[in-house]
Amino acid sequence: MQSFIIVRSVFFLSVFLTLISQVPQVLEMQISVYLQSSWLVTLVLLIVNRSIFIGEAVTFIALLFIFLIIYALLMQIVSGNDYFESAHIGNIAKSLLIFIIAYNSAPYFTDTDFAKWLGRIGLIGGTILAISIYWASFATEFDVKDITYAYKAKNSASQILLSCQIFVLLLFQSKVKVTRLFKVVFLLFTLYLILMLKSRATILGLIFVIILTYRYTSNKIIKKLTLVFTLISGSIVLFFEDIRNILIENILFGGRDINDLNEVSSGRVEFLYEFPELFSENIWFGRGYYFIDSFPLSILLGFGAIGSLFIFIFLLLPILFLRKRLRFYNPLHLVFLLLVVTYYFNGLFEEQSPFGPGSKNFLLWLILGYLFRVCQRRPRLAEI
């Protein structure tokens, strides 16, 4: 019983520490890797308690990663190009580790327990992260009309804040009025930060969150609040020209020339024009690392059609497995849907998502690993 409690506690502590490892002050002190290393403690505890189980499906996913490494080594030796310079393989390794740990930790929880604690951690950890970002970048001089970004790691920060919003909105429940008020304040404050960070992929992802939450949630209060928020926000944008101009020109377009699509997209249009020619130079085996700010295009250029196949199967297989097993009236299942949509969409405009950079996407692989195990209907220690 004592080991059971320890594993649960260390698991949730690892989630919290990984979340706050993205706090600006922690990143500046260069200690985030030490906080994230807490997952290794969780893994050791699972091994000591003989709780490691690797089914056929997980084995296949792990083999895909091993084949990818072998492929990259062979291509690097044969071509002389650097297939390991990019962060992709390291990011996939971290995501796979989180996936396997969550997969093997799942029997220690019930769905209710797991969702409740993730909601709490999302609220506490998200609050710490939000306040630290605000203090570091927005508390002093800040002009929303400035073309420069107030916070350099805006894409990672905004996506993590959006994930915390999803956790708090759907998983955190309280009957205490003060706590419920704090929940609303948190959602509004993090929304403000996401807008001020000007990460357009995350802002567009927020639209998907609103639509899908309204469509699938079984919680009538959340459904009504989502509708009210949409109507109020739409009315403000529609009837207040100053706010509309700030939202469109300064946040979505980043203060750039609206007539220059390449400038508005931060050079991504130029990448799209370059891609066909670059890809045609080595369609099958890739050219090694080449920066392009889109995950699927970066993978195709770097690893070619053959190497990319391992990664795309890695991404699609768990989702295909869970597709017919998810019930979106279950808040945890809906959270997973929202994370998949927002992170995969984010990957269209960012080089490393949905595997990285760093711990940006760990919550997605955490939920995926847990559900992957739960949906296999193996007995849980928490229910014994």
Specify whether the CB–CB gap between 51 and 7 falls below 8 A.
Answer: yes
Residues 6 or more apart from 89 whose CB is under 8 A from it? 68, 69, 72
Average pLDDT over residues 239-259: 69
Check residue 257 and give its pLDDT.
58
Q: How many CB atoms lie within 10 A of CB 5?
A: 10
Residue 151 has pLDDT above 60, yes or no: no
Nearest to 342 by CA among 209, 225, 246, 161: 209
Specify whether the CB–CB gap between 372 and 322 falls below 8 A.
Answer: yes
Average pLDDT over residues 79-105: 89
Average pLDDT over residues 190-219: 88
**Separation between Cα atoms, residue 116 and residue 25, nearest integer Å:** 28
The band of 239, judged by pLDDT with boundaries at 50, 70 and 90, is confident
Residue the block writes with tokens 């996939």? 92
Question: Poorest-confidence range of 78-87, 240-249, 340-349?
Answer: 240-249
Check residue 341 and give its pLDDT.
92
Average pLDDT over residues 108-137: 91
Question: Poorest-confidence range of 134-138, 216-220, 256-260?
Answer: 256-260
Check residue 170 and give its pLDDT.
94
pLDDT tens sequence across 16-45: 999 998 888 888 888 888 898 899 999 999
**Separation between Cα atoms, residue 94 and residue 191, nearest integer Å:** 28
Share of the chain above pLDDT 90, in %: 35
- The domain segmentation of the chain, as residue ranges, is 2-383
Check residue 383 and give its pLDDT.
43
Burial of 320 (0-12, 13-18, 19+ CB in 10 A): exposed
Check residue 40 and give its pLDDT.
92
Residue 380 has pLDDT above 60, yes or no: no
Residue-averaged pLDDT of the chain: 84
Q: Which is more confidently placed, 118 or 351? A: 118
Check residue 370 and give its pLDDT.
93
Residues 6 or more apart from 88 whose CB is under 8 A from it? 298, 299, 302, 311, 352, 355, 356
Residue 303 has pLDDT above 80, yes or no: yes
The band of 150, judged by pLDDT with boundaries at 50, 70 and 90, is very low
Check residue 232 and give its pLDDT.
87
Share of the chain above pLDDT 70, in %: 89
Nearest to 169 by CA among 132, 201, 130, 206: 206
Burial of 154 (0-12, 13-18, 19+ CB in 10 A): buried
Check residue 379 and give its pLDDT.
44
pLDDT tens sequence across 92-102: 999 999 999 99
Q: Which is more confidently placed, 265 or 295? A: 295
